[in-house]
Structures are given as structure tokens and as C-alpha cells.
Amino acid sequence: MNGFFGSDLAGTVGTWTAAVATLVVWGHLAGERRLFTWAQYLLAGLLSGYLAVLAVREVLMPRLVEPLVAAPAERLELWPAAMLVIALIVARHLPRTASIVPISILVGGIAAFALSGAVVGTILPQLAAGVTISGGDPITLGAGIAGAAVSALVLVAFVHGMASGPILGAASSGGRWLIVAGMGAWLGLLLLTSLVLLVDRIAFLLRDWLGLLP
Amino acid sequence: MRERLVLARRLAPIALILLLAAALLAGPGIGRWDRDGVDAVPADALLARIDALPPGALVLVAFDPDLTTYAEIRPAARAVLETLTGAGLRVAIASFSPEGRALGAAELARLDVAATPLDLGFIPGGEAGLVSAVRGIVGVAAAGPVADAIRAGGGGLAAFDLAIVIGGGDIGPRSWVEQVRPRAPELPIAGIVPAVQRPQLDPYLASGQLAELVAGPDAVAAMVGPDDALDRRADAVVLGSLATILVLLLSGLWPHLARRRPASADADEAAA
């Protein structure tokens, strides 16, 4: 039982809507495309509407408009943000040299946070954790060496296409196989997750919709 | 006739999996999934960490699961929310992704407890939002004892004693380790994620960057405790996995088997 819908009228309508939507999506497997396309339009429309409401209600109004209206002289840091928001809204009507500024700031900011976070939060601490193998038991030592060897082979796999000798070629080939093996393991876990979702949907139909399960 | 045959062939594997799952859910259960064999260490460790918190400790639940994988971790997410609110802790909930906000609001609406968590809402900006939350996460409109306690602790993520990140999408435990941990190193970060994210998060757990990690159906089952419906689902997933592997093998072998049919069969089919 997903527990999102109660037994009142709203809950009943929600359960029926979810059940019909599930059957419509599964109908695509039997070749029913028209209803499935409508379901896709419905999803896209609902998602767009939800994102718009979320942006206005939980971001723009409480974090930008209301503080600026309440104290425009004290919240000077919000004025550039307000100008960027306006520039993004009217970007398609601005000259390219002007419209590219807010978009560049947006893309550059996201990339900078992601890159710096990956270096400071993942690469350096994981390297430190991987190379600290002295004083450990043989299993830890072996795992550390194996981890370093796998990492090296996977990195070497990316040199394919460059001039290389037989040793580098073999290492590159081994690295590519390791990547394939890793992707296979990941797909296996994805299959497990997908099956859990499928079983959850079937349980929803049997229990919440049809009432066949206790 | 041929079209129907093609459709039947196409639907047969899916129908097999659906029927198996439905039979396992509705039937007496086959007990293929052994609850006693489940590794309960991750779930017990997270529950022990929650138990060890002093009364009134501040806990942030970062609710950012993915719509497509949330069903897998939903029982654990609910269990942890009920445990936290039932333990007399001061709980706040925030989301850094739109999907997480939708699911978090739905879970808050169905939560039937006296001490409702403080809803910090949606914090925009993705990873940039996480960085800004380190400095300040409480909005000016937030009121009440939990909001006051966070403000007294500086107003940012460092005010909390534990952060439990319910992940599955782009913003999850990895983002927290990368963006929050370097800026608030004293804050322990625990994660609850679907199985598919476990390979990328295990190294963070091993290095100590993540305090606890509950990942996958087994850990979720251990987190929830004995539950007949959950056990039946696990049974269905085990059998579904086997059926899927069988279907994949058959679909891989089918072209080879079809190629080895005797020539007379092809001739009969052409004549028909």
C-alpha cells in the first residue's frame, strides 16, 4: 500500500486516476500508442505546471520578491539576482551579446560547483582513502592494490586511438572490459530496482485499487 | 493471424512476469527470500546512531528521492521519519530537488504524529543550494522551537546533529559529501538510497565521508522490521529476477535456435 491516498472521495479519485494511468502506460506494451501519447502529454503538462508553481510559490515570491518589497534598500544583494531573473525571462528577445550573460553565469556557476565539489569532496578524499594502505591487514592491503590496479587500467582504457605498444594496448583492452563489467553490474542493480517498482505497481493495483490483498 | 502471433510473442514475457508477481503477492508466499539472511548491519547502525542522539537533538531529513525509484526506499523513509519524530528529536525536512519536494510534501501530509517536523520547503539551486544551506537554511518566515534552535546554532547546516539524506536523484548523498562535508565537517551524513546507487556510494562509506548508508531492498527490509507484505514483495522480486534472467537468456538464444530449424519447416511456413 503506497499510503498516499485515503479512503475519502479525494483518495478514491486519486487511486482510480493512478490505476488508470498505470494501465494506460502498460497498454503501450500491447501496441496502444494513442492513449500512451496522451498520458505523456498529461505528464509533461503536469510537470511544467508543478515546476512553475514551485518556482513562483517557493522561490521567487518568498526569496526574492517579498524581501525586496519589504526592504528594497537593505537587500542590495538581491537586486542583481532580480535583474538576472528578468534577463532570463526576456532572454530570447535580447541581443545575443546580452542574453548570453545570465545563461553563462548560470551554466558557469553550476559547472564550478560540480567541478570543485568533485575535486574537494570525491577525488582527493577517495585518493587519500585509497592510498592509505600501510598498517592494514592483508585483505585491506590487497583490496587497496586491486583498487589501484583497476583504476589504472580504466584510466588507460581512455588512451585508445593514440599510438601505443602491445603492453599499453593490452592494458587498454583490459580497462575497457572492466568498464563493461562495471556497467553490467550497474545494469543488474537497475534491473533489481525496476523489478521492485513493477512489484510495487502490481501490489498497488491488487490492494489499493481492486482490494484483493489484505 | 500473423499480427496476433507477433503480439502474443511480444506480450508473453511481460505477461509471464506480471502473472508471477501477482501470484506471489496474492498467494501464500514461497519463502524464497529469507529475512534471517538479510544483512541488518547498515539499518541497525543507522537506528543506533539515531538512538545515541541526546533528547532534543536537531536532525535534518533531506528529502530528495527520485520519482522512479522512490517505491524501493519508501518503507525505510517512512520508518526513519516515524523513528525520528517518535524519539523526541527536533526534526526538520528540506528538499533540494523539485521531485523531492513533491514527495516530501506528500509524506509530511500523511505523517500522523504529534511533533510534526519543521517544513523548510524547497531550496533551489541544486548543488549551489546545498552550499547556501550551509550558511543559512531557515527562511525568515519559519517559526517555532525547531526554527529557533536552528537559528541559535548559526542558522545553517552546522546547527544539526545529524543529516539523513533520502536520495535517488541527482541531488543525494554524493552531492552532500561533495558540497556540504568540506564546509561542515562535523555534521554526520547518513544516506538512504535505492540499490542502483550503492556502487557509487560504498566508497564514501568506506572512507568515512558517509556516516551510515542504507541501500537496497534488503537494507530497507531490515530497517522496517517484520512485515508480511514486504516479505511477499521481496519474494516476488526474487522470482521476477529469475524470470527476467530466463527471458533475457531465451531472447539471446532465440535467433540461434530459430536459425537451426530444419529447412522443411521454413518451406512449410512459406507455403502456408
Condensed to tens digits (0 to 9), the pLDDT of residues A96-107 reads: 888 888 888 888
* Phi and psi, residue A14, nearest 5°: -60, -45
Share of chain A above pLDDT 90, in %: 19
Q: Please state, as a whole number, how many other Cβ atoms lie within 10 Å of the Cβ of residue B68.
A: 14
Query: Residue type for B231, please?
Result: D
Q: How many CB pairs under 8 A join A and B?
A: 137
At B107 the three-state DSSP class reads helix
Give me the residues paired with residue B121 across strands.
B94
Distance of alpha carbon B166 from alpha carbon B75, whole angstroms: 12
Q: B25 contacts in A (CB within 8 Å)?
A: 199, 202-203, 206, 213
* Phi and psi, residue B120, nearest 5°: -85, -5
Q: Which residues contact B233 (CB under 8 A, 6 or more apart)?
A: A196, A199, A200, A203, B25
Mean pLDDT lowest for which of A39-43, A52-56, A122-126, B69-73? A122-126
Q: B141 contacts in A (CB within 8 Å)?
A: 62
Distance of alpha carbon B248 from alpha carbon B95, whole angstroms: 38
**CA distances (Å), B16 to each of A23, B9, B246, in order?**
17, 11, 11
Torsional class of B244: left (φ above 0), alpha (ψ -120 to 50), beta (otherwise):
alpha
Longest Cα–Cα distance in chain B: 86
| Contact criterion met (CB < 8 Å) for A192 and B233 | no
Q: Indicate the average pLDDT of chain A.
A: 85
SS3 per residue for B56-78: CCEEEEEECCCCCCHHHHHHHHH
Distance of alpha carbon B212 from alpha carbon A210, whole angstroms: 39
Mean pLDDT lowest for which of A3-17, A74-88, B28-42, B115-129? B28-42
| Contact criterion met (CB < 8 Å) for B179 and A31 | no
| Contact criterion met (CB < 8 Å) for A189 and B195 | yes
Nearest CA in chain B to A200: B71
Give me the residues paired with residue B165 across strands.
B62, B191
pTM over 0.90: no
pLDDT for A198 equals 86
Distance from CA of A163 to the nearest CA of B (A): 32
Q: Is the pLDDT of residue A196 over 90?
A: no
Distance of alpha carbon A89 from alpha carbon A103, whole angstroms: 11
pLDDT for B2 equals 74
| Contact between residue A78 and residue A60 where contact means Cβ atoms under 8 Å apart | no
| Contact between residue B30 and residue B235 where contact means Cβ atoms under 8 Å apart | yes
Q: What is the pLDDT along chain B (272 residues), one digit of tens a residue?
A: 677 777 777 777 677 777 777 776 666 655 555 666 677 889 899 999 999 999 889 999 999 999 888 988 999 999 999 999 988 899 999 999 999 999 999 999 888 877 789 999 999 988 999 999 999 998 777 888 999 999 999 999 999 999 999 999 889 999 999 999 999 999 999 999 998 899 889 989 988 999 999 998 888 888 887 777 777 777 777 777 787 788 788 888 877 777 765 555 555 665 65
Give me the residues paired with residue B62 across strands.
B94, B165
* Phi and psi, residue B143, nearest 5°: -135, 165
Interface predicted TM-score (ipTM) over 0.90: no
Cα first-last separation, chain B: 12
Q: Is the pLDDT of residue A44 over 90?
A: yes
Q: A186 contacts in B (CB within 8 Å)?
A: 196, 199
* Phi and psi, residue A33, nearest 5°: -100, -30
Assign A77 a pLDDT band (cuts: 50, 70, 90).
confident
SS3 per residue for B143-212: CCHHHHHHHHCCCCHHHCCEEEEECCCCCCHHHHHHHHCCCCCCCCEEEEECHHHHHHHHHHHHHCCCCE
pLDDT for A132 equals 59
* Phi and psi, residue A101, nearest 5°: -65, -55
B94: part of which helix (H) or strand (E)? strand B90-95
Q: Does the beta carbon of A211 lie under 8 angstroms from any beta carbon of chain B?
A: no
What's the number of CA atoms in the CB half-sphere (13 Å) around residue B11? 15
Condensed to tens digits (0 to 9), the pLDDT of residues A93-143 reads: 888 888 888 888 888 888 888 898 888 888 888 878 776 555 567 777 787
SS3 per residue for chain A: CCCCCCCCHHHHHHHHHHHHHHHHHHHHHHCCCHHHHHHHHHHHHHHHHHHHHHHHHHHHHHHHHHHHHHCCCCCCCHHHHHHHHHHHHCHHHCCHHHHHHHHHHHHHHHHHHHHHHHHHHHHHHHHHHHHCCCCCCHHHHHHHHHHHHHHHHHHHHHHCCCCCCHHHHHHHHHHHHHHHHHHHHHHHHHHHHHHHHHHHHHHHHHHHHCCCCC
pLDDT for B205 equals 93
